[in-house]
């Protein structure tokens, strides 16, 4: 007798099955607490759906699907000040409404987790039905989904999507996930510095000297609320300069995150003359430490090498606390590689609802995906 496979879609974290976290324990970004963050503090142009998979009425998989309305945002940063951008116009005309199995705010496989009672092909077949169902639900609200995507998988994680029924999807690869591997013999920052070659030890010492006068403080939930306006201003300084944007975080996001994740979320403020000039954030995720969003005052960043010092602080904390990896995610690949991060290619699949447009996806996707030239640095002996 064939097993009975089913799925259920939720929009409220409070209504998730009681046993949800028994599966989510492997990844904090699929936990009930983080789902609550997605529900209550997502970007204005994003809606989140939480998916439970069942086999014979027993929970066996969990996932997250996001709807993103790209018509409500300036997508291409470098063209943000132009009165008219042909690239932006075409992109929004054909790709405004996107449905993603995965988390568009993160890099890496944060789309779903499965128990060992269901195969990946069985689960993907259910997720495919979920996406189809959500497309119909949005159509009832007069929202026509242009793009459907599943992201992010490294080479070894990448599923057999075709077998699971995902036909005519284009496989894509964007900027790599920058991952810092911590050597097990490292116990403190001195061990890390000993492993660097002369050039990059000099870079470290120079950055630390430049940062004299800057005070780093761990901020509490109350502190984050107190500095909320300034935090949002610093965040937007960095986010607005990105070459490609699909969202902007709302003002209270970091406070909500601290409320939900508590000690698993660390917020560090950088102060100069008692003024907040930058911040960095970290999320503890089992053996990994994920870097989250950051912000800084542009002038102070240049003068004090603030961003590079933040990276060194993240490395120092991860080594001290015995994490195995620092997940630095996308963007700023060259400077991240200068502290020791290595690129890991990540892949996804994407399909356009217009069959003709979808036929040319292999040409269109590279046109809209900003290419960034960078040089891999090798700081270790």
Dump the DSSP string for 223-234: HHHHTHHHHHHH
Which residues does 253 contact at the CB level (< 8 Å), separation at least 6? 37, 41
Q: What is the structure's pLDDT at 364? A: 83
Helix (H) or strand (E) holding 283: strand 275-285
Domains in the chain, ordered, with CATH?
A: 5-167 (3.40.630), 178-343 (3.40.630.30)
Length of the chain: 381
Quote the tokens at residue 47.
């809606």
Whole-angstrom distance, CA of residue 239 vs CA of residue 256: 19
- In this structure, what token pair is assigned to residue 247? 């969202």
Q: Which residues contact 222 (CB under 8 A, 6 or more apart)?
A: none
- How many C-alpha atoms does 201 have within 13 Å on its Cβ side? 12
How does pLDDT run across 313-340, given as a tens digit for each residue?
999 999 999 999 999 998 899 999 999 9
Are the beta carbons of 48 and 29 closer than 8 angstroms? no
> What is the residue-level pLDDT of the chain in tens, covering all 381 positions?
678 999 999 999 999 999 999 999 999 999 999 999 999 999 999 999 999 999 999 999 999 999 999 886 665 444 344 445 555 656 666 678 999 999 999 999 999 999 999 999 999 999 999 999 999 999 999 999 999 999 999 999 999 999 999 999 999 998 899 999 999 999 999 999 999 999 999 999 999 999 999 999 999 999 999 999 999 999 999 998 877 778 999 999 999 999 999 999 999 999 999 999 999 999 999 999 999 999 999 999 999 999 999 999 999 999 999 999 999 998 899 999 999 999 999 999 999 999 998 998 988 888 777 678 899 999 999
Phi-psi region of 237 (alpha: psi -120 to 50; beta: other; left: phi over 0): alpha
Give 268's strand partners: 218, 280
Check residue 16 and report its DSSP letter. Answer: S
- As to burial, measured by CB atoms within 10 angstroms (0-12 exposed, 13-18 middle, 19+ buried), residue 178 is buried
Instruction: Please identify which residue in the block is written with the tokens 């970290």.
Output: 282
pTM score of the predicted model: 0.93
- Provide the pLDDT for residue 36: 98
Distance (Å, rounded) from C-alpha 170 to C-alpha 298?
Answer: 38
Nearest to 297 by CA among 218, 214, 226: 214
What pLDDT score does 80 carry?
42
Identify the CA nearest to 171 among candidates 156, 186, 160, 184: 160
**Sign of the dihedral through C-alpha 255, 47, 100, 57:** positive
């Amino acid at each position: 007798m064939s097993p009975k496979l089913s799925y259920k879609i939720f929009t409220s974290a409070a209504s998730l099955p009681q046993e949800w976290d028994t599966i989510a324990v492997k990844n904090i970004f699929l936990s009930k607490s983080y789902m609550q963050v997605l529900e209550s503090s997502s970007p204005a142009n994003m809606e989140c759906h939480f998916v439970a998979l069942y086999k014979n009425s027993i929970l066996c998989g969990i996932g997250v699907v996001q709807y993103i309305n790209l018509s409500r945002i300036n997508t291409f940063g470098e063209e943000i000040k132009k009165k008219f951008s042909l690239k932006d116009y075409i992109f929004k005309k054909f790709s405004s409404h996107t449905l993603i199995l995965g988390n568009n705010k993160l890099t890496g496989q944060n789309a779903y987790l499965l128990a060992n009672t269901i195969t990946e092909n069985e689960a993907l077949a259910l997720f495919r039905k979920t996406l189809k169902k959500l497309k119909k639900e949005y159509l009832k609200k007069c929202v026509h989904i242009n793009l459907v995507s599943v992201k992010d998988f490294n080479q070894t994680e990448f599923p057999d999507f075709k077998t699971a029924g995902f036909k005519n999807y284009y496989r894509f690869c964007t900027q790599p996930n920058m991952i810092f591997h911590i050597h097990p013999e490292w116990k403190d920052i001195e061990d890390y510095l000993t492993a660097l070659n002369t050039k990059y030890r000099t870079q470290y010492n120079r950055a630390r000297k430049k940062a004299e006068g800057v005070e780093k403080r761990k901020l509490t939930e109350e502190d984050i609320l107190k500095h909320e306006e300034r935090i949002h201003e610093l965040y937007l300084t960095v986010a607005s300069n990105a070459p490609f944007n699909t969202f902007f975080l709302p003002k209270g996001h970091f406070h909500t995150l601290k409320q939900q994740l508590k000690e698993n979320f660390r917020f560090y403020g950088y102060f100069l003359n008692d003024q907040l000039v930058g911040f960095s954030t970290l999320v503890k995720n089992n053996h990994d430490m994920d870097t989250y969003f950051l912000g800084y005052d542009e002038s102070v960043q240049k003068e004090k090498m603030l961003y590079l010092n933040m990276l060194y602080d993240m490395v120092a904390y991860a080594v001290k606390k015995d994490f195995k990896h620092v997940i630095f995610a996308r963007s700023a690949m060259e400077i991240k590689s200068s502290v020791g991060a290595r690129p890991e290619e990540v892949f996804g699949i994407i399909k356009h609802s217009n069959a003709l447009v979808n036929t040319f996806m292999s040409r269109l996707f590279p046109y809209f995906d900003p290419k960034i030239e960078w040089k891999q640095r090798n700081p270790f002996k």
